Structure 1
Amino acid sequence: MHVVLWGGASHADDVQCEALNEVVLSSGFVTSARTVAASDGLPSYCEVRARALPAISIEARLPLEGWNGKYYQAGCGGFCGILGRADSGKGWINAMRPGLERGYATATSDSGHHGLSVVDAGWADNNPHAERDWGWRSIGETNRIARALISAFYGREAEQAVFQGCSTGGRMAHVAAQRYPDMFQGIISGAPAMDYSGLVGTKMSWLMQANTGEEGEQILKPGKEKLIGDAVMRSCDGLDGVEDGLISDPRLCKADLSELLCEGASSDQCLTKAELGVIAKWRQPPVNAAGEELYPGGIPAGSEPFWGLWLTGFEKGGGKLVNAFASNFGAYMAFPEDPGTGWSPQGFDFETDPERMKTAASLYNGDNPDLSAFIEAGGKMIVWHGWSDAIVTPFKTVDWYAKASEAAGGEDVLKQNVALFMVPGVDHCGIQSGPAGVTQMDLDPMTPLEAWLETGDQPQTIMAGK
């Protein structure tokens, strides 16, 4: 059934949109279709909710006027599970907004389950089908259903497809390039959590164990992030020749925090030996007993202003999301047999548990540096990461890029299809504003990606307005 769109916003559009309720989908069905009036910089569109069997909930937004003939798909964050969550705010990360406001038909999904929050992984408890959908299948199924709706509504297929995601959405972007190399002509991957077993399983367990005392207490508590950050900035701000409140490359920063050691009683203006020990472990990569590195790099210097949300928590409560991610992942997603709620990252075994997560890695991870199929298909990919990301640390991304360059035959070859931008002072996905005030709203990878696809001009920056 084709419901061909002809005119501008009118009552006829309501009829055409609602008629999508009758579209027959293979291995899926439409659950609702309604028109949404233009507002807040977005055009009027037909909102379609659909289900790809068995359990992937999808939302498509089809512009009523000015469709550019293309398709834009957005990823989701954390463990996902909340359909269209990113579009409830003003940001563009994992949102359909950037595509819709440029005239694309857009879609996203909940990745195959309903969650109470993006740190809730209880849905995966003894549920391999849901884990498969979250890992990779929801990417392809969202694309399939959305393209069917586009064809039904406009009477023709989308001529080009773009994927955008950050964090887990960035992982999805990498998985798309590897498992579906012909599906998207353009891909934007931000702060990609491309190695969930290594990052959320191994590294986050390392971070939690490092900050836990013998009695199970938290050693480095909220309130000293600024003290630490100021000392780091004094040591490393000028390493790039400019003192601008930014650390351009935290790999060069070897800040000595011994000046902060408490000489007497502990206070807000000094660090105890135990607290300094936590920071020392956080700065290094996780290792096993033989000293073998299990995941690249530690917590980057310059990320201290963002530690409350990710690592230490806030003085009034909340934050410390690393703990929630690590606990849920290990309990329900990491191992062949789910240990459940009794499991804790404090019990993670760095000798044996990384190997036990091999099946999970094959389901979830997108860190394979071989992009030959995507490159052969002519795909273009922008990868970006904030140097001050304290949860999905940036060292994995630069490590992956180096390996991808080698696999492609050199960086000059890889740069024909993959562009990497490392952005100083930026939090995970640009969520929080740091001392330099740079957030996701200061970034725009979409404009250079479009130019790359249309004219072949390689991206030079992802900073908005430049």
Structure 2
Amino acid sequence: MRNRIYSSTFLVLLFVLFLVIPVGQSAFGQDCTSLADLRIEDTNLLSATVVPASEDLPEYCRVLGYVRPAINFEVRLPTSQWNGKFFMAGCGGFCGKLESNNSRINAMNIGLKRNYAASTTDAGHWGETVFDGRWGLHNRVAEIDYGYRAVHETARVTKNIIESYYGNTAKYSYFMACSNGGRQANMEAWRYPEDFDGIISGCPALNLTELSVYTTWLATKNRGPDGKDLITPAETELARKAVYEACDGIDGIEDGLISDPGSCTFNPGSLACEHPDQADCLSQEQVAALRAFYQGPENSSGERLYPGGVPFGSEPYWELWITGETDEVSDGLASAISTNGLRYLVFEEDPGSTYPIEDFDFDRDPPRLEHMGKIFNADHPNLEAFRKHGGKMLMWQAWADAIVPPLGTIAYYNAVEKEVGNRQATQDFLRLYMIPGMDHCGILDGPGIMDDGFDPLTAMEKWVEQGQPPERLLTTKTDSTGAVQWTRPVCPYPQRAVYDGEGDVNEASNFKCINPNP
């Protein structure tokens, strides 16, 4: 009888204690605000505060700090119902911001919404925008932080904070990002193979120095003798119509998607004017610029300086990346990326703010970028340590990506497969998915899906935690109201999705994955 009374009293006390646990205290007893007093090597913690639940985010403990000298980070810890896992988001462009939800790709709130402990970093510097490279001027420490140190150090500190707050280590750790964030993803797998169990790398800017050559090529080849753009939105629309007319149906169905741009043989010369006063056609200078876009950068000997050029089918997105939004507002982001990269980042000795990108010499200058390539570039195909760790990598690439050409991503995958020596052994830990019609990172709406049109994280979770590799990714195209327009599978490269000839072409179930040239 006495034992029963003691047991009942104990349960009541537990219940009362539960009621008086301070807001922000974890289920393991650690108070959120006390995290600011943690002592972590080479780290300064600035604040730890509770943020109330809002919309689709749970209540969380927000921790701000920096790893010396200047890698700022933010950690968000669900105060209840933690799923036991860690999610880290990367950052796009030249970083420089602590952004939690700037997109549905480079955003730690993707993980927080699923009750992950989540974090992100500014990559070791501040920038006015993510295309601001001024922080790199004569600042090798900041360039190293951006190149490879910031993600690794933020992951280290986040894991320390997670263990302190929850009293337990994370069961699984995931990294997901796009563009420069994709570069960070591959850099992690190569340099720090034990940081993450699963890595999702989208449209990765793997070779940052070569990519600067590519963006410089786009920006300079589009300049006429008068300094004005040769290809404006008006000429882009001519090219778009002609390319889609020539290439849309090569996959057997005309559906507004170019499923395999590599099979397209569109000739820009077909748009050349036959007469000087002819309308709806291109001058010889404009045709030359268009050829240069699709061809990609070369030196005067015809040697390729990047694995490919602007893909056929990317024309709907040129206004952001190449031409500017209107005939009056020229210069897409390729010009800004090129200008900031050349002035402040990719040369061993930075030329500075007065350097005009027109001075870049495609014969002399590419070899001069090799020094910084050792800091920035993540196209190293030897991922053996990551594979032995048991890590899984899901890479995806937009086929209509005008700013990170898809052939570069394919070349990287092929190099890894060659390094491993066997396709099946490669795809046991690394798979690549080429997504038709999609803009870089799914930023702009167009023929393909946007960034919310597929769910690579769930696919990765099943692969890592249940041993189920993704045999296909489901992509969903919606309209402005959210209504589904079509669904399609995306297959592991080099397989491609082919309509089986029966049923609705807008239903993913009517497509199958086949190997090329069976």
Please say whether Structure 1 and Structure 2 have the same fold, judged by a TM-score greater than 0.5. Answer: yes
TM-superposed deviation, 1:189: 0.0
Partner of 1:3: none
Compute the displacement of 1:60 (Å): 0.4
Which of 59, 71, 77 in structure 1 is aligned with 2:74?
59
Task: Tell me if 1:312 matches 2:334.
Answer: no
Corresponding residue for residue 16 of structure 1: 31
Cα distance per residue 1:181-235 (max 9 Å; x no partner): 11111000000000000012x1111112211123333211233322211110000
Shift of 1:262: 3.0
1:272-283 matches, cutoff 5 A:
272-283=283-294
The change in CA–CA distance for 1:7 and 1:115 in structure 2 (over 3 A counts) is farther
Aligned partners of 1:222, 1:365: CA distance in 2, in Å?
33
Q: 1: CA distance between counterparts of 2:42 and 2:217? A: 42
CA contact (8 A) 1:448 1:461 kept: no
Look up the match of 1:402: 414
For each residue in 1:351-386, what CA deviation from the matched residue of structure 2 results, as whole angstroms up to 9, or x when unmatched? 221111111100011001111111111100000011
Match status 1:359 vs 2:371: yes
* Separation in structure 1 between the aligned mates of residue 168 and residue 339 of structure 2, nearest angstrom: 46
Query: 333, 340, 344: which one pairs with 1:332?
Result: 344
Contact 1:336–1:356 (Cα < 8 Å) also in 2: yes
**Map 1:251-270 → 2, pairs under 5 A:** 251-265=262-276, 269-270=280-281
Query: How far 1:463 moved relative to its partner?
Result: 2.6
Q: Does 1:291 align with 2:298?
A: no
- Picking from 39, 42, 47, the partner of 1:32 is 47
The secondary structure found in structure 1 opposite 2:110 is: helix
Do the aligned partners of 2:24 and 2:60 also contact (CA within 8 Å) in 1? Answer: no
Tell me how far 1:29 sits from its aligned partner. Answer: 1.3
Partner of 1:234: 245
| Separation of aligned partners in 2, 1:227 and 1:310 | 17
2:433 corresponds to which residue? 421
Give 1:286 shift.
1.4
| Counterpart in the other structure of 1:95 | 107
Single out whichever of 220-229 and 335-344 deviates more from structure 2. Answer: 220-229
2:446 counterpart residue number: 434
Amino acid at match of 1:327: T
Distance in 1 separating the partners of 2:198 and 2:222: 41
> How many angstroms apart in 2 are the aligned matches of 1:318 and 1:293?
27
Asked if structure 2 preserves the Cα contact closer than 8 Å seen for 1:71 and 1:162, the reply is yes
Question: Cα distance, 1:293 vs. partner?
Answer: 1.2
Q: Does 1:41 align with 2:65?
A: no
Identity of aligned residues (%): 40
Q: Distance in 2 between matches of 1:441 and 1:226?
A: 26
One-letter identity of the residue aligned with 2:188: A
> Residues of 2 paired with 1:295 and 1:456: CA distance?
36
Q: Deviations over 1:314-344 (max 9, x none)?
A: 1163760000001100000111111001112
Distance 1:77 1:26, change over 3 A: same
* Post-superposition CA distance 1:24-79 (Å, at most 9, x none): 22111111111112222121111111111000100000011111111111100000
Residue identity in the other structure for 1:382:
L
2:353 corresponding residue in structure 1 = 341
In 1, distance between residues paired with 2:279 and 2:317? 18
- Paired residues of 1:8 and 1:64 also in contact (CA < 8 A): no
When Rg is computed on C-alpha atoms for both structures, the one with the higher figure is 2
Indicate the residue corresponding to 2:118 in structure 1.
106
Paired residues in the alignment total 456
How far, CA to CA, are the matches of 1:10 and 1:215 in structure 2? 70
Q: CA RMSD in A?
A: 1.9
Structure 1 runs, 4 residues or longer, greater than 6 Å off? 6-10
1:380 aligns with 2:380: no
The residue matched to 2:441 in structure 1 has which SS? helix
The answer to which of 124-133 and 239-248 deviates more is: 239-248
Question: Judging changes above 3 Å, is the alpha-carbon distance between structure 1 residues 268 and 61 closer, same or farther for their aligned structure 2 residues?
Answer: farther
Query: TM-score, normalization: structure 1?
Result: 0.94
Q: Which residue of 2 aligns with 1:147?
A: 159
1:267 CA drift (Å): 7.6
Structure 1 residue 287 displacement after superposition: 1.4
The answer to whether the 8 A contact 1:213-1:219 is kept is yes
Aligned partners of 2:232 and 2:330 also within 8 Å: no
Task: Classify the secondary structure of the residue corresponding to 2:259.
Answer: coil
Change in CA separation of 1:20 and 1:305 when aligned onto 2, cut-off 3 Å: same
